[in-house]
Chain A
Amino acid sequence: MQKQSIYKLGTVLVLSVFMAACAGKKSRESVQVGDVGNYSTTTEDSSQSGSSMNETIVGGVTDGSLMGTAVDGGPAGIDGSDPLGKRTIFFDYNSATLTSEGNQIAQAHGQYLASNPQYSIMLEGHADERGTAEYNLALAEERAKIVEQIFATYGVNSSRIQIVSYGEERPVAIGHDEAAYGLNRRVEMIYQ
């Protein structure tokens, strides 16, 4: 029990440092445009940041329950098994159908959002690298949409839900095996 709290605290600390690092990085975010004639300009990225860059790889922790509290202001789970504490829903290969665990997590958050109208949420869809990048972009969006549909059954208005698909472009796990793929086929829920 004691040990667990210390572990939790440690994770939160690690995450806070990480978040600070991310925030620092954000201001430097820029896009450079060049061409054949060495012409180049820099345009500042004025868009707001919605994404927390790579929460699942910090310290190798893949359980969203400990991280959720630190990353956003959303609900904190009591322990690792509480679906409300999780921020990531995983999917089967080439599937945009919720697993029973995924369904549980989505329902818990749908319920929470319904009774906490001060929150809106970003759903980031992701895919593993198998197949083609373009199809995976569409597939990853389907994954985010299935979560949105669950939220809708709890009466969460679509105006509070933002969906973005990154397809296979932003994996959290490197590697070309099922261990990595399983972590990369996901929807991340980011409270805002």
Chain B
Amino acid sequence: MVKKIFLKLSVVFIISLAYIAPANAILTIDVTKGVKAAIPVAIVPFANQQGLPQALSDIISSNLRRSGRFEPMSPGDFLSVPTSIEQVQYKDWRLLKMNAIAIGDVKQVGTDSYDITFRLLDVFNESQLDAFSYTAVKSSLLRKVAHRISDRIYEKMTGIPGAFDTKIAYVKAAGSIGNKLYYLQIADADGFNEVNILESRMPIMSPAWGPRGEKLAYVSFEKRRSVIYQQDLRTGQRSVLSEYPRINAAPSWSPDGTKLAMSLSKDGNSEIYVKNIQSGQLTRITNDRAPDTSPAWSPDGRSLVFTSGRSGKPQVYKVNASGGQPQRITFKGTSNQRPSFSPDGQSLVLITDAGGGFKVAIYSMQTQSMKTLTNSSLDESPTFAPNGEMILYSTVKGGRNVLSAVSADASVQQVLRFGNESVKSPAWSPKL
């Protein structure tokens, strides 16, 4: 009986999901490789969630599944659908071999205002692992609540903070050669809520998030040359950050947001500079005849890693953020480029070419060893999730630039498809 009702409910969910799909599903995600040791959990449909534009439990399940660390059970296999602690039959969930279940309810408390409560329950110990409520939530923020809940579940179960309530920035190109349109866009980390930040007939490159996710720096060719802009994401207000002669590229905010590292070729060839935003003071960091570019800050703000061609091939170097003698970091492979630090500062993600094409790799600062994470050959722009668990990058698949994600341990891999458009230059936001 209960099961039958549930089946009916799930039909309604499927229909409503299908209905919202054209408007919201900007991208679809194919998990191309998943882990075997994923944690079995059940995200039970929240009470009264069927009135919402999106089923919260579905958003949470798909978030957890995408991480590769969880295996959410299909609601069709549930033996019961509890929405309060009293209704939970732990025995049933043990039978289904679940480690934990999440339950919740939604209360409409006004026009476009909802209270949402959720609980995470340990099936073996029959105890509550977490409980949290969100009050007076507007429907436009319901997805955000689902991401926040996903983050809490992720952290409770793995000990690592989640990164679901984050955003990604990327550059989309549509149209054919000679008649292209470029879009700088941001979206939720699951690809929903896509928003246009900039639209141009000329290329856009290298978006870089401010340390609190409040702004983006990026390179735009709208003046038929590279210029670095910054744009406030709340007001839309933008201004020029760097417009020196020739190349203005590869912006990277210092962790405290007071400085911008970038590459400029105003003094002859591409070199690394650091600009103090407040004073406008520009400090030249590198001085070499070969190209230096792609600076990225260490989490403590004390050093920069960057790409340099000074050895004849592009390799990764490290330098004090106030200048000094750069020290070469990578030696193996034909080239190693575009390094950036993991959030804990222990490793770098970069693009390596050891003869088989350009692949995402992680370099451990401690063991000085490199681990290649992908099998593709045209990878670019790797960017860590703020919890260090996943890396988003661009690659070529089916003749098109697509975004792809791989876990830092290489066990989970997925492709994000944005319709037929070409997508490049991803940048994962900090924790919002």
Q: Contact residues of A with B, CB < 8 Å?
A: 25, 29-37, 39-41, 45, 47-51, 53-54, 57, 94, 129-135, 137-139, 141-142, 145, 163-167, 169-172, 174-176
A45: contacting residue among B222, B270, B358, CB under 8 A: B222
Let me know if A37 and B234 touch, CB within 8 A. yes
Let me know if A132 and B380 touch, CB within 8 A. yes
CB-CB under 8 A for A36 and B234, given A31-B198, A131-B335:
yes
Let me know if B246 and A141 touch, CB within 8 A. yes
Task: Chain B residues near A36: list those with CB within 8 A.
Answer: 186, 195, 233-234
* Docked CA distance A129–B195 (Å): 27
A132: contacting residue among B223, B225, B231, B294, CB under 8 A: B294
* Docked CA distance A139–B307 (Å): 12
* Docked CA distance A145–B196 (Å): 36
Q: Does B31 contact A (CB under 8 A)?
A: no
A129: contacting residue among B199, B293, B309, B378, CB under 8 A: B378
B201-229 interface (Cβ within 8 A of A): 201-203, 205-206, 220-226
Kindly provide the distance from the CB of B296 to the nearest chain A CB, expressed in whole angstroms: 11
Q: Does B37 contact A (CB under 8 A)?
A: no
Q: How many residues of B contact A (CB 8 A)?
A: 59
Let me know if B314 and A135 touch, CB within 8 A. yes
CB-CB under 8 A for A39 and B291, given A30-B201, A54-B178, A142-B269:
no
Let me know if A133 and B381 touch, CB within 8 A. yes
Task: Chain A residues near B231: list those with CB within 8 A.
Answer: 33, 35
Task: Chain A residues near B247: list those with CB within 8 A.
Answer: 137-138, 141, 165
Let me know if B236 and A134 touch, CB within 8 A. no
* Docked CA distance A172–B357 (Å): 22
Task: Chain A residues near B22: list those with CB within 8 A.
Answer: none
CB-CB under 8 A for A134 and B293, given A40-B236, A174-B177:
yes
Give 14 new A-B contacts, CB below 8 A, not counting A131-B337, A133-B424, A141-B269.
Answer: A29-B201, A31-B201, A33-B198, A36-B186, A39-B236, A45-B223, A47-B223, A50-B224, A132-B337, A132-B351, A133-B380, A138-B265, A165-B247, A171-B177
* Docked CA distance A171–B424 (Å): 15
Kindly provide the distance from the CB of A146 to the nearest chain B CB, expressed in whole angstroms: 11
Kindly provide the distance from the CB of A24 to the nearest chain B CB, expressed in whole angstroms: 12
Let me know if A130 and B236 touch, CB within 8 A. no
Q: Does B65 contact A (CB under 8 A)?
A: no
Task: Chain B residues near A40: list those with CB within 8 A.
Answer: 196, 236
* Docked CA distance A170–B270 (Å): 19
A135: contacting residue among B309, B357, B424, CB under 8 A: B309
Closest B residue by C-beta to A30: B201
Task: Chain B residues near A133: list those with CB within 8 A.
Answer: 205-206, 380-381, 424-425
Let me know if A138 and B263 touch, CB within 8 A. yes
Closest A residue by C-beta to B197: A34
* Docked CA distance A145–B197 (Å): 33
CB-CB under 8 A for A35 and B206, given A54-B178, A169-B221:
no
* Docked CA distance A36–B193 (Å): 9
Task: Chain A residues near B224: list those with CB within 8 A.
Answer: 47-51, 164
- Of A37, A131, A170, the most chain B CB neighbours within 10 A belong to A131
* Docked CA distance A172–B177 (Å): 7
Kindly provide the distance from the CB of B395 to the nearest chain A CB, expressed in whole angstroms: 11
* Docked CA distance A35–B338 (Å): 28
Task: Chain B residues near A171: list those with CB within 8 A.
Answer: 177
Let me know if A134 and B234 touch, CB within 8 A. no
B265: contacting residue among A34, A57, A141, CB under 8 A: A141
Kindly provide the distance from the CB of B404 to the nearest chain A CB, expressed in whole angstroms: 15
B293: contacting residue among A25, A35, A135, CB under 8 A: A135
Q: Does B235 contact A (CB under 8 A)?
A: yes
Kindly provide the distance from the CB of B67 to the nearest chain A CB, expressed in whole angstroms: 25
Let me know if A134 and B238 touch, CB within 8 A. no
Q: Does B373 contact A (CB under 8 A)?
A: no
Let me know if B294 and A135 touch, CB within 8 A. yes
* Docked CA distance A33–B184 (Å): 9
Kindly provide the distance from the CB of B91 to the nearest chain A CB, expressed in whole angstroms: 47
Let me know if A31 and B220 touch, CB within 8 A. yes
B246: contacting residue among A31, A51, A165, A175, CB under 8 A: A165
